Amino acid sequence: MIDFLKGPVVHWDSEYVVLDVRDVGYRVFTPNPYAFARSSDPVTVFIHHHVREDAIQLFGFASRDEQTMFRKLLEVSGIGPRVALGVLAGGKPEAIVAAIQQENINFLTKLPGIGKKTAQRMILDLKDKLGNAPLAFGADASAWVTEDSAKSDQKIGPWAEAREALEALGYTGAELNKAYEGLRESIKPDESVDSLMKRALQQLFKG
């Protein structure tokens, strides 16, 4: 069972990166491929090795917290690897855990692929299993406060990935908040991250 891989990213797409590990290319599906694409230096990607009858897939994460949260999500009835990946693309592990503990259906249903029934199952299946989550995720539970304001909208959907990628390119939070304000009304739930990044860069170039 593969726990992590380390190597340079030699290719990336909207859904995955390819790591060169000792001259073998591993395709790894990840919540935010752009987070790994900013450097040619070797990166460590924590892996969930998913085996089914018709496929063997690798899902990768920048931190142990994401890897752990992904595996917890797979325990929920009706959530498969692709949906779990979308959830982590839309929110950080601590925010997802906080929403589950607080039974915040409104926050959970804003995550990609999560409807009301699935959000309820997440709470039912995971709330009692996350009793020690502050220790597991290395954070103080008092800091896990979810938001239902426009600020929280920036943490979900395609903009979350686009924003992280742009931050990696050196843009400041203030610049990206301004770009988001110019784009917010026109962002579509199914818009690709590549498209959104291009439009955001246009906003940034305008100043």
The residue whose two tokens read 């998913």 is 50
pLDDT in the model for residue 132: 52
Sign of CA dihedral 33, 35, 167, 148: positive
Contacts of 169 (CB under 8 A, 6+ apart): 38
pLDDT in the model for residue 181: 81
pLDDT in the model for residue 9: 93
pLDDT in the model for residue 25: 95
> Residue 100: CA atoms inside 13 Å, Cβ hemisphere, count?
29
What is the mean pLDDT of each successive set of 10 residues along the chain, which is 207 residues long? 92 91 95 78 92 88 92 92 91 87 88 91 88 48 40 62 77 80 79 84 75
| Neighbouring C-beta atoms of residue 207, cutoff 10 Å | 6
pTM exceeds cut of 0.85: no
Q: Please provide residue 155's backbone torsions phi and psi, each rounded to the nearest 5 degrees.
A: -100, 0
Burial class (CB in 10 A: 0-12, 13-18, 19+), 203: middle
